[in-house]
Structure 1
């Protein structure tokens, strides 16, 4: 690993596997903006996309990630591939002792998650799931305001957007995606729930695969999830790939007020709805991707804890597995019993 030379810190050599929107809009710009890593290689199965990005970024390009790992001396790799391919990339990276920054979800099933934990522990490779909201000041300020609303008792959360055809591409197939809106886009909001409140004691979920009855798909387009804690806190979570406009919000209600979080804005309100204080950003947080990479560098160096590592993401997978089990059994499921 490149660490120091002559007292000067060296950037880690980074590759990116999967050149979709997330990689092009977030991770590659984040690598260029980071003080901790430099982009040296890219990989995608689409040769035309590789040629275009290879020319633009002046790096080596590959259409086979196995070849990329053999040819390049990488320190870390950013993995942005369809969910069912993730494990193969992680295993290959681990074989080459390359640390992994992986786009959500951690895994497609609870069993796969456990096996990935074992792979990382056995090889000593650090893996961190990309959860950029943890590096955005709007989201990190939530708990500070939540401390000011007395005893919390209810959470109302939703993350919705509109995809005209939920059957399109690999995301419409459970065999490839591991599920639909719960395990895919919902992973971010589930992370927020677990980050702020911990893993619930009970989960009850219902889901739909009927938003477009004229299309053939089996990954849920919409889900309504109820969750509760033995402490008395309870809540609901609405996820959908078909309900527009795009909305992301969490509202926590306590005995002495409320906290309302949405993209770009965080507010503390009275129980009647009067705004007491507010924090906002008119633009996106462009430094989040670079901050995430810089944090991961420190995780690799052993100077920061890996708060989004394999063991930590077992809780996320437990929540997700509980949702799918609850929808099948039509009963409450304790996600802690699935860990």
Structure 2
């Protein structure tokens, strides 16, 4: 039997330009195609900052190069090499699953003659507005009107009906804060964490989802009542929970006997390593959101937390990317896996415990 090629041989033989960059955004390894495309030998490239050699005209891609948490794919975008226009490329940047301190950059040059993406002129650049900024502006205005209408309606309702208007106002405020976060999706920002009873947040998220779907769904729970308080941002955590519960409802809507279950438990083994040191951050509280839907296709399992990757026909692929970012901002983690005999899907949230007393 012929020996299989080594990982080194495979890396060297791939047709795209490949760069491995470290947590300081410095080039650690390149393949021969990358040497040819960048016009530099590996000896000159290794140790250099990646943005010294590669530049984009799109601010989101510029930030992705120097954001260690960014996972992004872009197609037919203009690229410059050390300030020199190098045409259009397909570009991918992803963390290495086995060790997220490392990322792989893949660049596939496209032949000339195809559609050309317009490069903004220097006069346009100061006035350019990113899509999330426009989205935030256009949504916040009607949100303010909805909140105002709920406040007026609240005055004329009976006492037993006012919880519904309170829910509307609370959800409007939460969505407004979410929009602020979406406008900086590609950046790491500290969360406003506080000690919270996680079960109260799960109950709020469940009530919101059940109400949104007309009350005809059931979300079961298996709570550990002895759990300590967790250290999270309540608004961010609500968004994480509602995103995952909404996904579970969508995944099971065509199943005759659907099942959605939320489990909480304390685990002594979960911990988070801090890059650049030997410090370990313990994440002992787990929330498991499980459903019996079809799950994520095998070919997408490694990419589901990347922006613009979606299993829904009408999805935009931002929900799970946002979940991952919000959990990271709160020093937590999220994981997807098949449960038990692989018939069920589950997302597991790992959270830190608030300091006691």
TM-score bin, normalised by smaller chain: under 0.3
TM-score, length-scaled by structure 1 = 0.26
**For the pair shown, which has the larger CA radius of gyration, 1 or 2?**
2
TM-score, length-scaled by structure 2 = 0.25
